[in-house]
Chains A and B, each alone.
With several copies, the nearest count.
Chain A
Amino acid sequence: MQRIYLDHAATTPVLPEVLEAMLPYFSHEFGNASGVYSWSRTARQAVDQARDTVAEILGALAEEIVFTAGGSESDNLAIKGVAWANRERGRHIITSAIEHHAVLETCHWLEREGFEVTYLPVDSQGLVDPSAVEAALRPDTILVTIMHANNEVGTIQPIAEIGQIVKDSKAVFHTDAVQSAGVLDINVDRLHVDLLSLSAHKLYGPKGVGVLYVRKGTRISPLIHGGAHERRRRAGTENVPGIVGLAKALEITHAEREKENARLILLRDRLIEGLQTIPHTRVNGSLTQRLPNNVNVCFEFIEGESLLLTLDMRGVAASSGSACTSGSLEPSHVLLAMGLPHEIAHGSLRLTLGRGTTAADIDYVLAEIPQIVERLRAMSPLYRA
């Protein structure tokens, strides 16, 4: 059976060149980067070089790069770190209703700890209105955190515009760029951000390693205390192969970004158009401000999981809502925030394309999905053909 992977927003395979770059650091150059001897120097150089590579792509200084264990940790470090370090100045945080759970759950926790959080609404395409950010800013606002691109519907937020607004306040600005980092420009000056999270496994690097960019002068408390690693912002023996892999993956995806995006946009639009021929289908998210690899649709009268299971039986990996909450009974908070009714939000399908996706893959799913939808609708008590 054909196996077609269309869940690149959940995770991506490690590129062969990336794995190759990592391999020496497992068993041979395995030194702890903190020692004074030769093994350590090799490890230290590898980490330094990776840091330089990442810094260059972000338009940042090497010392502004903090390596973490992934997107969730970066988001937590950014939000809790700023909250703790600045709580004497204020306890108000602004975010949006469609953030990833790593942001939302962290904000919910801070609410229980005595912080106040404003969850900005989004429009029907999933866009945050920059003027709503401006209106929500208060003298005691210490942090604004708005994601760069949404993991479910692929909507790209006007981060640079929001950043300009936040700049004029005393708050710092964080963006969760986990979905965009391998795809969009993430120059921190052009985006006007003070903090930026990314995760290697979303851009063809290894799982378990990420970055938090921290603009010089930003006050932030560590989440993990201990040794003096990462300039005291994140303790723990450096994950040398992971860090090397992250940098290599970011380097490759950025070098090939424009060419690959053009290719993906063609495939994406072909897929969206094909799916729209199925009756009672809605495309979710913006058609213009959209990640090149994201397709998100709702087929009315059917439920998402049964669709995914059937696709899986036909070799196709896809997702409904965000990966880490599937198994939950809640429909996507993103689709609800965009105004979709519950019963329709339950029937969403996310197909996210990637470097391995071919036109033949798109043709295959376009041949399969209409049959599957028809079969499930025939079983549905909500559907009258």
Chain B
Amino acid sequence: MYSEKVMDHFQNPRNVGEIVDASGVGEVGNARCGDIMKLWIKVEDNIITDIKFKTFGCGAAIATSSMITELAIGKTVEEAEQITNKAVAEALDGLPPIKMHCSNLAAEALHAAIQDYRSRNGLNIPRSQ
């Protein structure tokens, strides 16, 4: 049911772990629903230089967590913020329909970590929304 890419990221997840002196941390989901993602970023000169995650969840949840760390690393904060759920799913060669919500979670966790980084650094900008 999962693509080879998903299985690869599930078996060999990139960037598992924690960053002790993280610039920002995001946590989304809850155990009741069976998915929790926690994501740490290190930002230097507005660039994400390190990123780590821990995930409680299904295969797709772990693979999307792993994939988003690969997509985000090396990007500017603004670029990283543009990473969509769709981009994560596509980078994994697709997800089964009932697992699409997992790619939501990964993007949300990254955005939460970026928000945390901004608020720690007084960088909150009014959102045009």
Q: Tell me the A residues contacting B by CB distance below 8 Å.
A: 36, 41, 44, 301-306, 309-310, 313, 327-329, 331, 342-343, 346, 378-382
Cβ contact within 8 Å between A328 and B56: no
Task: List, sorted by A's number, 25 A–B pairs whose CB atoms are closer than 8 Å.
Answer: A36-B1, A302-B56, A303-B56, A303-B58, A304-B58, A305-B58, A306-B57, A306-B58, A306-B61, A306-B62, A309-B7, A309-B59, A327-B1, A329-B34, A329-B101, A342-B31, A342-B32, A342-B34, A343-B34, A346-B34, A378-B16, A380-B55, A381-B36, A381-B56, A382-B36
Interface pairs A-B: 7 shortest CB-CB: A343-B31, A305-B58, A381-B38, A381-B54, A342-B32, A346-B34, A309-B59
Q: A380 contacts which chain B residues (CB < 8 A)?
A: 54-56
Cβ contact within 8 Å between B10 and A309: yes
CA of A57 to CA of B33, assembled, Å: 41
Interchain pairs with CB closer than 8 A, number: 64
Nearest Cβ on chain B to A44's Cβ, whole angstroms: 7
Cβ contact within 8 Å between B55 and A379: yes
B interface residue count range (under 10 / 10 to 19 / 20 to 34 / 35 or more): 20 to 34
Cβ contact within 8 Å between B1 and A382: no
Cβ contact within 8 Å between A379 and B32: no
Q: Is B13 an interface residue (CB 8 A)?
A: yes
Nearest Cβ on chain B to A343's Cβ, whole angstroms: 3
Cβ contact within 8 Å between B56 and A329: no
Q: Considering only CB atoms, which chain A residue lies closest to B55 in the complex?
A: A379
CA of A342 to CA of B36, assembled, Å: 13
Interface of B is mostly: mixed
Cβ contact within 8 Å between B58 and A343: no
Cβ contact within 8 Å between A313 and B11: yes
Contact with A along B26-66 (1 / 0, CB 8 A): 01000111111110000000000000001111110110000
CA of A176 to CA of B33, assembled, Å: 30
Cβ contact within 8 Å between A331 and B34: yes
Cβ contact within 8 Å between B34 and A303: yes
Q: B125 contacts which chain A residues (CB < 8 A)?
A: none
Nearest Cβ on chain A to B97's Cβ, whole angstroms: 10
**14 more CB-based (< 8 A) A-B contacts, given A309-B7, A343-B34, A379-B13:** A301-B56, A303-B56, A303-B61, A305-B59, A306-B57, A306-B59, A306-B61, A327-B96, A327-B98, A328-B98, A346-B34, A380-B56, A381-B36, A381-B38
Q: B61 contacts which chain A residues (CB < 8 A)?
A: 303, 306
CA of A306 to CA of B33, assembled, Å: 15
CA of A71 to CA of B62, assembled, Å: 35
Nearest Cβ on chain A to B64's Cβ, whole angstroms: 12
Cβ contact within 8 Å between A346 and B16: no
CA of A305 to CA of B6, assembled, Å: 14
Nearest Cβ on chain A to B108's Cβ, whole angstroms: 14
Cβ contact within 8 Å between B98 and A381: no
Q: Considering only CB atoms, which chain A residue lies closest to B34 in the complex?
A: A346
Cβ contact within 8 Å between A382 and B98: no
Nearest Cβ on chain A to B87's Cβ, whole angstroms: 23
Q: Considering only CB atoms, which chain A residue lies closest to B36 in the complex?
A: A381
CA of A244 to CA of B32, assembled, Å: 39
Interface centre among B13, B31, B38, B96 (most CB of A within 10 A): B31
Interface centre among B13, B38, B55 (most CB of A within 10 A): B55
CA of A377 to CA of B31, assembled, Å: 14
Q: B59 contacts which chain A residues (CB < 8 A)?
A: 305-306, 309
Cβ contact within 8 Å between A329 and B33: yes
